[in-house]
Every structure is written in structure tokens, then in C-alpha cells.
Amino acid sequence: MSKSRLDKYEGRYAARVGDMRSSAIRDLMSLTARPEVISLAGGMPATECFPGEVFDRINLHIGANKRALSLQYGPTEGFDFVKDDIAVLLAEEDTAIDPARVLITTGAQQGIDLVTKTFVDPGDIVLAEGPTYAGALATFSTYQADVRHLPMDGDGLVVEELENVLAELEIEGRRPKFLYVVPNFSNPGGTTLSLERRKRLVELAGEKELLVIEDNPYGLLRFAGEPVSTLLSLDRAENVVYLGSFSKIISPGIRTGYLIAPPAIYQKMVFGKQATDLCSSPLNQLFVHEFISSGAWVEYVQRQRSLYLSRRDAMLAALRKEFPPGSTWTVPQGGFFVWATLPEPVHTGDLLVKAIEENVAFVGGAGFFTDGRGTSSMRLSFSGQSEERIREGICRLGGVIREQMGLYEALGFSGRQGESVDRDGGS
């Protein structure tokens, strides 16, 4: 089939799709599907732990009592009883909500898409942590947003720096459409925004009328430290749109998440959802409802927490053993991810190619920035592999890093490059 044929519509793509970037993580997934690869790349929950008897009991209950409902179209907003379940879950995070402000989405990813669709015209500024969730960057690029990263430290987003950025933008006569933030065990950073900064962030949002998108998929997966209030619970001025997900506490395979928005914004999101996929799967919503309302989720989430804690500890111990001096990494109190940074001049993009040859995978840090940063860093996910495989994976990775560092040394960085190239060529 001729190339001219295939490409005849090329020039007619909407500009936004022409510029789209694919998420670094999703691209890796096909590479790492081989069973011999130890993938520390994707943020995969341990779905193999989902109890079979609970799975069957839920489905048999739906089959016996709600089969026609589960197989029919549902309301665009989602079922009221699922909204009530969400209110129960958020109460666990000390956050009181009005269920009428909940919109069930096809995963929290759709929440990011709907917010961006609603607010972003090409060229509009979106603020985000640096590094930030690569899947959100993919969505922002679909709508041609101009993403500006804000610095982070061990306490998450540096809110003082946000003040400066907002002031600078004001001088330019520009205002950002929103700030996107993952306050708990951030993806990919693994850091948590401190309470003090949260309070200041919400206050600042009120002063500046800054819309804040709080993406909190991991909040209930805290396995160390003390819970910190959600931005939504601190917000008194309706500046926060909250995104939640069942992907991490039940299953990503049911593609069910939610957003909570102030009424005026909410209705726009409902229109957007209606035009995108009509409604989220009623069958999957009923699965969520049976799992949450039966209370089965409590034990499951507790087990997941202790599982992820063990896996995190296995990863941290392996990093201490295998990674070279000068490496640093975050110590997350929940969630799925460690963010590791290697001594210069290691480039994690180059490293990944070698690592996959050695049957271990991670996500290179550059995928979490839009501005070329992150090339010395990597995201390591501990959620989806056994402790043994985590140890083995980090061991292989350590070998690849040492090999690459040895090569750099042999190539003689610090001005000895010419000489070392000769030496390498002559060996």
C-alpha cells in the first residue's frame, strides 16, 4: 500500500493531535510485556492479590440482582449509589463532600482530559510539578497547553516558588488556566506535599483565583507517616477540582475514577463526558459499589498497604546495595514510586536501552518533564513485582549503571575525552 495513499489525510489532522506526545510509560508497556523482563516501569497495582472469592461473589450478586441494570446505559454523571460510596471513601481521608458534585469518569485519566478540554485553548499556560505524571503531560499536549514546571523538594511542590511564578506571569499579563498537582506520594517523585504548604497553596489559590487540580489516586495507600489533609478539605473558596480513582485501591481494569468539582464547572464536565463516551460502564460501577458497600475494600486496602510497604523496603535496601555512590532517591510514605537520580553524566535514556537488553525496565526521567530535564533520573515502581524480583531487577540495573559509568570513565570525561576515545578504539 503506497505511502502517498496512507498520508493523504496527514495535512488535515487537527493541530492538537499533530503535536501530541505519547506517554513515555505507555510506550514502554509493549516493550516490557515479555515475561523475562522485570518491569519496574509501569505503575501496576498487585491485581494478582485480588481475592477470587470476592470477585465471584460480586459478579454472582450482580448477575442475580442487577443484571439488566449493569448491562444497560447509565446516567452520564454515574449512579447515585456510587457517588455515595465515594463520599464514604473520602471521609476516610477526612474530606466531607456533597455527592451531587461527583462525576464518575472512565478512570482518573478521563478527569484530567475533561478538565483540560474544558479550560485549555492552544497556547494556554498550565502549571505542574516538575517532575509530574507523564500521562497528564500527554493530555496537556493534546490540547496544546504551554506547560510550566514548578520546582519540588522533599516536601513536594515548593509553594513559595509558585508565588513568584504567578507574580511573573501577572507582569506578562498572563494567567495560568490551572495548577495540576499530585500531593500524596507523587507520580513520579514519591514525595508528599506538607500540610503547611497545602494550607498556603489553598490560601494562594483563593487570593489569585487559581484553579487547582488535585489528583489523588494513592491517598488511601499510605503505609508510613501521618495522613495530611486533602487540598479539597482545606479549600473554602471552591478553587479545587479533585480527581480520584479506583484503579489503585480496587483495579485499573475496571476503568473507574471520579472528579469532584464546583457546580458551575461540574455541568461543563458532564457535557464533555457525554460527548466523549456517554457514561462510564454501569457493570464496572456496580462492581465498585458491591466491593465498597460490602466493606470488602477495608481488608483489601490494608493488605495492599502492607504489601507495598514490604516491596518499597525491598527496593530501598537494594538501591543502597546496588546503586553507585552519589546516587540519591526519594523515600515515599505510600503509593507506588521511587524517584532515583544518578551521578552525572549518566543519561537514563541511554541506560534504558542497555537495561532492556538485560531484561529490566524503568521509566527515564525525561518523560516527566516537557523541558528536557530529568535525564539523570528514573522512576522505579515497586508496586507490581515481588520482593525477590525487585531485588533481582535493581541488581541487574546496578550492573548496567556500573558498566555505563565505567565506560564514561574509560572515555575520560573532564577533558580527557580525546585520549580515552583513542584508548577505547585501540583496546
**Could you say which residues in the range 36-75 bind a copy of itself, by CB under 8 A?**
42, 44-45, 47-48, 50, 52, 55-56, 59-60, 63-64, 67-75
Cell of residue 118, nine digits: 474544558
DSSP 72: S
Rounded to 5°, angle at Cα 383 from 396 and 104: 145
Q: Where are the alpha helices (DSSP H) in 67-189?
A: 67-71, 80-91, 107-119, 134-142, 159-171
- 149-188 positions binding a copy of itself, by CB under 8 A: 177
280 binds a copy of itself (CB under 8 A): yes
320 binds a copy of itself (CB under 8 A): no
**At closest approach, how far in Å is the CB of 410 from a copy of itself?**
40
Kindly tell me which of 181 and 342 has the beta carbon lying closer to a copy of itself. 181
**At closest approach, how far in Å is the CB of 132 from a copy of itself?**
14
245 binds a copy of itself (CB under 8 A): no
Stretch that binds a copy of itself, among 84-92, 189-197, 271-279, 392-400 (CB under 8 A): 271-279
Stretch that binds a copy of itself, among 163-171, 221-229, 282-290, 390-398 (CB under 8 A): 282-290
Task: For residues 203 and 181, give the distance between their C-alpha atoms in angstroms, rounded to a whole number.
Answer: 15
**Among 219, 252, 335, 364, contact with a copy of itself (rule: CB under 8 A):** 252
> 3-state DSSP call for residue 261?
coil
Closest CA to 83 of 109, 69, 103, 112: 103
**Among 78, 282, 332, 334, contact with a copy of itself (rule: CB under 8 A):** 282
109 close to 135: Cβ distance less than 8 angstroms: yes
Kindly tell me which of 107 and 393 has the beta carbon lying closer to a copy of itself. 107
Task: For residues 55 and 81, give the distance between their C-alpha atoms in angstroms, rounded to a whole number.
Answer: 20
30 binds a copy of itself (CB under 8 A): yes
229 binds a copy of itself (CB under 8 A): no
Element (DSSP H or E) covering residue 314: helix 296-322
- 115-144 positions binding a copy of itself, by CB under 8 A: 117-121, 135, 138-139, 141-143
20 binds a copy of itself (CB under 8 A): yes
86 binds a copy of itself (CB under 8 A): no
**At closest approach, how far in Å is the CB of 52 from a copy of itself?**
6
Kindly tell me which of 123 and 151 has the beta carbon lying closer to a copy of itself. 123
- CB-side neighbour CA atoms (13 Å) of 403: 14
Kindly tell me which of 164 and 274 has the beta carbon lying closer to a copy of itself. 274
6 binds a copy of itself (CB under 8 A): yes
**At closest approach, how far in Å is the CB of 326 from a copy of itself?**
34
Kindly tell me which of 7 and 357 has the beta carbon lying closer to a copy of itself. 7
Q: Where are the alpha helices (DSSP H) in 172-295?
A: 195-208, 231-234, 263-277, 282-293
Q: How far is CA 276 from the centre of its chain?
A: 22
**At closest approach, how far in Å is the CB of 239 from a copy of itself?**
9
**At closest approach, how far in Å is the CB of 383 from a copy of itself?**
11
**At closest approach, how far in Å is the CB of 83 from a copy of itself?**
14
Match 527515564 to its residue by C-alpha cell: 364
**At closest approach, how far in Å is the CB of 424 from a copy of itself?**
39
Element (DSSP H or E) covering residue 349: helix 348-357
**Among 88, 275, 298, 353, contact with a copy of itself (rule: CB under 8 A):** 275
Kindly tell me which of 74 and 156 has the beta carbon lying closer to a copy of itself. 74
Residue 196, C-beta contacts closer than 8 angstroms, at least 6 positions apart: none
Residue 313, C-beta contacts closer than 8 angstroms, at least 6 positions apart: none
> 3-state DSSP call for residue 256?
coil
Neighbours of 122 (CB within 10 A): 11
Cell of residue 120, nine digits: 485549555
Neighbours of 301 (CB within 10 A): 16
100 binds a copy of itself (CB under 8 A): no
Kindly tell me which of 138 and 193 has the beta carbon lying closer to a copy of itself. 138
Element (DSSP H or E) covering residue 153: strand 152-153
- 344-403 positions binding a copy of itself, by CB under 8 A: none
